Amino acid sequence: MDKGKGIFTQVLIFIGLIVLIVVANATPMFLIRFQGDLKGGVKWFLALAYTVIVAFLITWLWKWYQKGVDTDQAKQKMSWKDVGIILLFYLAGRVIAVVGTVINQLVSGNQMSMNDQTIFGLTAGLKEGFLPFTICFLLVIGIVAPIIEELVFRGLASQLLFSGGNKWLAAIVTSLIFGLLHATNLIEWIMYTGLGIVFYLAYARRRDIKDSILLHMINNIPPAILLAYTIFS
């Protein structure tokens, strides 16, 4: 009975962490959409407050994750070989993304996933809007989202829900949830689930969350740079 209560509590904690991720990632989009209704002083306050809160969130999640990491894992260094393997994982993720996007185009007629459409659909507001909001938005895509999503979906999820070490179950379950948060149809769900599994395998290879964070950043930074070029060119 106590074990059941413990698992239920851990699931609730994981759900709460997912809610935090969604709020942290979505807040810059809401700020950009409603920036026309805000005064200058309020905009500066919200941009600074968001930056401080996100910095606190990342620090808190990192310290929480580190409590569940043993001494040997904590001392691991990333070698050039590890970076090369991460790049191979990146290529695997690109294959999944390209194939998924092509199938999605054929079935739905959409040129990109709804997640990407939402991001690039804000271009006009980003070009003409409040610069700190734009910077926050770009940093979320390239830096913040990879860190907090990996800490929660790969790191803390493994510690909270899969401490028994069933890696494949952990990879499938966490990736299905990860995919669900990024998708609006079945094809996108499968595509993002596949990407989630690639991220999980990068983490599970050495049980080092820095590997999957780097992989996720490598995956996200190019679109962030492309979006920045579109905005500022």
Locate the domains of the chain by residue range.
2-232
CB 32 within 8 A of CB 119: no
Separation CA 133–CA 231 (nearest Å):
13
Read off the pLDDT of residues 173-194 as tens digits, 9 standing for 90 and up: 999 999 999 998 999 999 999 9
When pLDDT is averaged across residues 72-93 and rounded to a whole number, the result is 93
In terms of Cα–Cα distance, which of 38, 37, 64, 36 is closest to 49? Answer: 38
Lowest mean pLDDT among 81-85, 88-92, 100-104, 209-213: 100-104
Q: Write the Ramachandran bin of 102: left for phi over 0, alpha for psi from -120 to 50, otherwise beta.
A: alpha
Whether pLDDT at 10 is above 80: yes
How many whole angstroms separate alpha carbon 151 and alpha carbon 66?
10
Token pair of 33 as six digits: 């959409």
For the chain, what's the residue count?
Answer: 233
Of 46-60, 73-87, 158-172, the range with the highest mean pLDDT is 46-60
Cβ contact 155:202 at 8 Å: no
pLDDT band at 5 (very low <50, low <70, confident <90, very high): low
8-17 average pLDDT score = 94
Q: What pLDDT score does 87 carry?
A: 98
Task: Give this prediction's pTM.
Answer: 0.92
Query: Which band of pLDDT confidence, cut at 50, 70 and 90, is reported for residue 1?
Result: very low
- pLDDT at position 98, please? 95
pLDDT at 175: 97
DSSP annotation of 111 reads: S
What is the reported pLDDT for 189?
96
Average pLDDT over residues 8-19: 95
